[in-house]
C-alpha cells in the first residue's frame, strides 16, 4: 500500500504499514495515538475497514471489541500510572462522529491538566493543541509505546 497511513489506518495496519500499531488484538489493533498532548493516548481500531459502528459487528465480535477496549485501557492505565505519578484515570470512548470506521479512544487523564479541563471531556481542549507539532508522535514517545506494549503482553499472558 502506498501513500499516507493516516488516510486508511485499518488497511495499513492489516498490511503492516501503520507505524502506530502497538499490538494485534483479537478484534483489531491497539495503536498509539498520533495526537499526544495527553501522554499515553491510544486507540483501538477494528480489523474490518468497512465496519462503521459497534452494532455493525456480530454479537461475538462486538463483545470481543469491547473486551479489547478494556484490555487496552488497562494497559494504558498501568503504563501511565507507572511513568507519571500525576496519572488520574482512563476515559474510554466510542464516538464515531468524524472518522467513518469503528474505533475506541483511550484517554489517560492527569492531575497536571488545566483546572478548567481536567474534569471535562478531552474534546474541549483548544483546537491548537490537536495540531501542535510539540505533541506529535515521534521518538520521544518510544518509552511510553514500549510500556503500553509490555503491559498488553502481560495482560494477554494472564488470560
Q: Domain-by-domain residue ranges, the chain? A: 5-158
Distance CA 159, CA 10 (A): 25
- Tens of pLDDT, residue by residue over 44-58, are 999 999 999 999 999
CA atoms within 13 A on the CB side of 96: 13
pLDDT of 69-121, one tens digit each? Answer: 999 999 999 999 999 999 999 999 999 888 889 999 999 999 999 999 999 99
Topology annotation, domain 5-158:
HIT family, subunit A (3.30.428)
- Ramachandran quadrant class, 16 (left: phi over 0; alpha: psi -120 to 50; beta: rest): left
How far is residue 53's CA from residue 62's CA, in Å, rounded to a whole number?
Answer: 10
Residues 77-114: b if buried by 16+ CB within 10 A, e if exposed? bbbbbeebeebbebeeeeeeeeeebbbbbbbbbbeebe
Structure pTM?
0.93
Amino acid at each position: 500500500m502506498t501513500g499516507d497511513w493516516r488516510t486508511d489506518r485499518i488497511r495499513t495496519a492489516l498490511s503492516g504499514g501503520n507505524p502506530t500499531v502497538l499490538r494485534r488484538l483479537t478484534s483489531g489493533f491497539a495503536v498509539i495515538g498520533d495526537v499526544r498532548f495527553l501522554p499515553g493516548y491510544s486507540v483501538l481500531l477494528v480489523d474490518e475497514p468497512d465496519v462503521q459502528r459497534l452494532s455493525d459487528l456480530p454479537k461475538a465480535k462486538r463483545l470481543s471489541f469491547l473486551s479489547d477496549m478494556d484490555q487496552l485501557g488497562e494497559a494504558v492505565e498501568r503504563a501511565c500510572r507507572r511513568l507519571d505519578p500525576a496519572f488520574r484515570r482512563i476515559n474510554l470512548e466510542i464516538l464515531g462522529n468524524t472518522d467513518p470506521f469503528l474505533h475506541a479512544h483511550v484517554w489517560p487523564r492527569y492531575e497536571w491538566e488545566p483546572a478548567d479541563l481536567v474534569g471535562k471531556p478531552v474534546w474541549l481542549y483548544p483546537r491548537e493543541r490537536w495540531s501542535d507539532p510539540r505533541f506529535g508522535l515521534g521518538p520521544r514517545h518510544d518509552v511510553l509505546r514500549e510500556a503500553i506494549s509490555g503491559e498488553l503482553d502481560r495482560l494477554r499472558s494472564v488470560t
